[in-house]
Amino acid sequence: MIKRYSTKEMEWVWSELNRFSKMLEVELAVLRAQEELGIVPRGTYEILKRRLYVDEGVLRKIKERERTFKHDVLSFVSVLEEMGGEEGKYIHFGLTSSDVLDTALALQLVEGLNLLLEELKEVLKLLKEKAFKYKETIMMGRTHGVHAEPITFGLKLLSWYWELRRCEGRLKVAREVASYGKISSAVGTYSNVPPEVEERALKILGLKREGVSTQIVPRDRHAFLILNLSLLGSSLERFALEIRHLQRTEVLEVLEPFTEGQRGSSAMPHKKNPILSERICGLSRLLRSYSIPAMENVALWHERDISHSSVERVIFPDAFILSHYLLKLFKFILEGMRVNEDRMRENFKFSKNLFFSSKLLLKLIERGYSRDEAYDLVQRVALKTWEEGRDFLEEVKREGLLDEKTLKELTLESFLKNKDQIFNRFRGRCFLFKEIPLEKLRGAFLLEEVSLEGLRGEEILCGDEELLREVEEKLKVKVKLYKREISLEPEDQVLIYRGGRIFKVLMLT
């Protein structure tokens, strides 16, 4: 990825130095496992751990050797063997290149996803704060670009927040799906290295074992990850596209940051263009494009060919760096976003109160009209007022469709009487259970252990008095008795207590 759209943190994850460092981690983990199992002489691991490292100098040697070998892993192994002295011959003992490459790749993927999730967490925090800040800021809702019914800007932002929470859940699943390695020899049969080595080495590395591997870890795992990064980009594009629409001169309800000294056009000094939001839309197209080659990498010849390798050297760094950059850029827009509340109110006048048509439709049905009769009547009045430039409610009054008392009930606020119920779904309660309440959970979920320190300051609710006492006694955590029926909302946390440990249920949909 070009520097213009890169971040230093994610560039490091996909740097050659980090890649070969991860490959060394894999080689050393295998050596440690082999030594524990008596496959290589005792003391080999500690000797090579002291002697082997990867820095810029080592990297240059690998590149020099690759010019002759035309094989980066063999070049890497050759340089390490040279650095390892007599014991260096045990480097890569019984392995095939993809044992090292795919397992190291899994480490990079997890590291990259952790970075993305950290950034996404900050964006989510900011979005939620903004949503509640603008909870009461009334604006016109639009469908097909046309005025529909009133909403609040806070509700719009809350929609963005919940969509990114879903993205967060999918990325956490993708992290689980991607965190698989393999140390299973040339075609996955453990012909030169026993399964026990794989099991121990992957445990050292914090990875899981692929159930059935070929020469590689199957690429459906990697395609799933890239598809979820593409979805993240699509969501960010949706938000950016909305900001672009709202910044149009004839709307002018929301503006992205325009910093001191910034210029908008080489020809027109007055211009303040939404270039950051446009950039997000453009780069999201590029991010989505990586999903096609990622899926095409799934189908390889027999137990593996190498057609996926060249593709992955491009799409993994680019997709991760772009995703990280887009999150940072969107956060910058949110931080400096200018909300023109006066203009939001002013823009209602363009509708001439036509948005009350749905309310009138229901009132007429309640008065005895059939739905078709009421619809035709409301539509006739609406089209007439629109064409003649009149106010809709005044025309309704003129035609005697509603009495004065009922007309007074038609207010902007009447459209938003239930918004508090929507916002209350996101107050974030914390419930403690002994077993996973499957009947209360929606969709897929993951379990994640929580530290006691992470629970400090949380109000934990529990409907089981016996469980409440046990947790308070054993873990010294304060729990409050909750006697009402528990109905879980999107932002509620579900905690499970098992054998002195507490796990958080991560709801993903």
pLDDT in tens, 424-462: 888 888 888 888 777 777 666 777 888 877 776 778 898
Question: Tell me: the pLDDT tens digits for 337-355?
Answer: 999 999 999 999 999 999 9
Rounded CA-CA distance 479/152 in Å is 36
264-275: per-residue pLDDT in tens? 888 998 989 999
Q: Residue 444: what pLDDT?
A: 64
In the chain, CATH 1.10.275.10 covers 3-90
Which of the 8 DSSP states describes residue 180? E
Q: pLDDT digit string (tens) for 215-227?
A: 999 999 999 999 9
Domain boundaries 97-189+203-261+268-346, corresponding CATH code: 1.20.200.10
Q: What is the pLDDT of residue 442?
A: 65
Q: Say yes or no: domain 352-419 is CATH 3.40.50.300.
A: no
Report how far residue 30's alpha carbon sits from residue 465's, in angstroms, rounded to the nearest whole number. 49
Residue ranges of E strands in 144-269: 146-152, 180-181, 208-209, 254-255
pLDDT in tens, 29-47: 999 999 999 999 999 999 9
As annotated, the residues of the chain forming the CATH 1.20.200.10 domain(s) are: 97-189+203-261+268-346
pLDDT at 74: 97
Q: What is the architecture, at CATH level 2, of domain 3-90?
A: Orthogonal Bundle (1.10)
Give me the pLDDT at residue 507, please: 66
Average pLDDT, the chain: 93
pLDDT at 209 over 90: yes
Q: Which CATH class is domain 427-507?
A: alpha beta
Average pLDDT over residues 86-100: 97
Which segment, 184-198, 426-440, 476-490, is predicted with the most confidence on average? 184-198
Could you tell me where in the chain the CATH 3.40.50.11170 domains are found?
427-507
* Higher pLDDT, residue 487 or 11: 11
- What is this structure's pTM? 0.91
d(CA 361, CA 364): 5
Question: What average pLDDT does this structure show over 474-492?
Answer: 83
User: So what's the pLDDT on residue 443?
Assistant: 65
Instruction: Compute φ and ψ for 341, nearest 5 degrees.
Output: -65, -35
- Residue ranges of the chain that CATH labels 1.10.40.30: 352-419
Q: Which residues are catalytic?
A: 144, 265
